[in-house]
């Protein structure tokens, strides 16, 4: 009868290399780039204020555009009504 030996198939050198390889894949924290939480919160507040300012500006521009569209429609309507008041002689001269 043959016996089968059961045990670790890794050599000590391979085990050491493998543990280093696994640990190399774990990012280490860099204390140079660490900022306090207050700075992150201040940045977030500044960005919120800028977004709100842009939103208000956008709303104002949209209101101005709507006003211009309304004025344009009124102007075109007044031109049309003014042209309808022409006499037949004026239409003949225009044609």
Q: What is the DSSP string of 6-69?
A: -S----HHHHHHHHHHHHHTSPPP-TTS---HHHHHHHHHHHHHHHHHHHHHHHHHHHHHHHHH
- Is 13 among the domain residues? no
- Is 95 among the domain residues? yes
User: How many domains does the chain contain in total?
Assistant: 1
- Is 4 among the domain residues? no
- Is 21 among the domain residues? no
- Is 79 among the domain residues? yes
| Measured distance CA(89)–CA(86) in Å, rounded | 8
| 46 or 14: which leads in pLDDT | 46
Please state whether the predicted TM-score (pTM) of the whole model is above 0.95. no
Q: Which domain holds residue 93?
A: 69-95
Between 27-31, 42-46, 57-61, the lowest mean confidence (pLDDT) is in 27-31
HSE of 90 in the Cβ direction (CA atoms, 13 Å)?
6
- Is 89 among the domain residues? yes
């Amino acid at each position: 009868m043959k016996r089968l030996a059961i045990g670790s198939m890794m050599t000590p050198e391979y085990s050491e290399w493998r543990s280093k390889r696994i640990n190399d894949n774990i990012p280490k924290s860099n204390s140079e780039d660490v900022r306090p939480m207050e700075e992150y919160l201040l940045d977030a507040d500044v960005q919120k204020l800028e977004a709100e300012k842009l939103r208000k500006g956008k709303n104002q521009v949209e209101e101005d555009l709507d006003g211009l569209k309304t004025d344009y429609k009124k102007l075109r309507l007044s031109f049309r009504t003014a042209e309808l008041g022409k006499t037949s002689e004026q239409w003949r001269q225009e044609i």
